[in-house]
Amino acid sequence: MTLADLILWPGTQFCKWIGVEPTSDAGLIRWMINTLVYTVVMLIGVWIFAV
């Protein structure tokens, strides 16, 4: 597993779960899910660090 595969893993798994090929037009869906996941992770990290 490469670093890119690891970073894109949440969106890829979501696309597989809903039955869409992650490497086709679902790239936008994969991008959206990855953005949401990493935004939440970073916000939690900032919250822990700041408080």
Residues 1-49 pLDDT 10s: 799 888 889 999 999 999 988 887 667 888 999 999 999 999 999 999 9
pTM value surpassing 0.85: no
Number of domains making up the chain: 1
Contacts of 5 (CB under 8 A, 6+ apart): 12
How far is the CA of 44 from the CAs of 17, 23, 26, in angstroms? Answer: 25, 29, 27
Predicted pLDDT at 26: 61
Domain range for 7:
3-50
